[in-house]
Amino acid sequence: MVGAAVPADDGARLWAVLESVPDPELPVLSIVDLGIVRSADARSRRVAITPTYTGCPATQVIQASVRAALDGAGFADVEIVTELAPAWTSDWISAGGREKLRAYGIASPTSRGVRAALCPQCGSPDTVEVSRFGSTPCKAQWRCTACAEPFDLFKCH
Partner 1 sequence: MPSLPPIRPQDEARARALKTGEGEHGFDAPTEETNASALFDYALRLGDDALILGQRLGEWTGRCPSVEVDLSIANFALDLVGQATYFLGYAGKVEGKGRDGDALAFHRDVLDYRNCLLVEQPNGDFAQTMARQLLFSTWQKMLFERLVISSDALIASVAAKAVKEVAYHEELAAEWVVRLGDGTEESHRRMADGIAWNWRFVPELFDRDEIDSAITSQGIGADVASFREAYDARIGAVLAEATLDRPTDQRPILGGRRGHHSEHLGHILSEMQFLPRAYPDAKW
Catalog residues that contact partner 1 under the rule CB under 8 A: 51, 53-57, 84-88, 130-135, 137, 141, 155, 157
Nearer to partner 1, 75 or 88 (CB): 88
Min CB(87)–partner 1 separation in Å: 4
Distance of CA 94 to the CA centre of its chain: 9
Which among 14, 4, 8, 154 has a CA at the least distance from the CA of 78?
14
DSSP 8-state symbol, 30: B
The whole-angstrom separation of Cα 40 and Cα 24 is 20
Give me the least distance between CB of 140 and partner 1, in Å please: 9
User: Closer to partner 1 at the Cβ: 65 or 89?
Assistant: 89
Query: Distance between CA atoms of 29 and 124, rounded to whole angstroms?
Result: 23
Whichever of 16 and 133 has its CB closer to partner 1, that residue is 133
Among 65, 52, 56, CA closest to 21: 65
Q: How far apart are CA 120 and CA 101, in angstroms?
A: 9
Output 11 or 134, the one with its CB closest to partner 1: 134
What is the closest distance, in whole angstroms, from the C-beta atom of residue 137 to partner 1 in the complex? 6
Minimum CB separation from partner 1 for residue 7, in Å?
Answer: 35
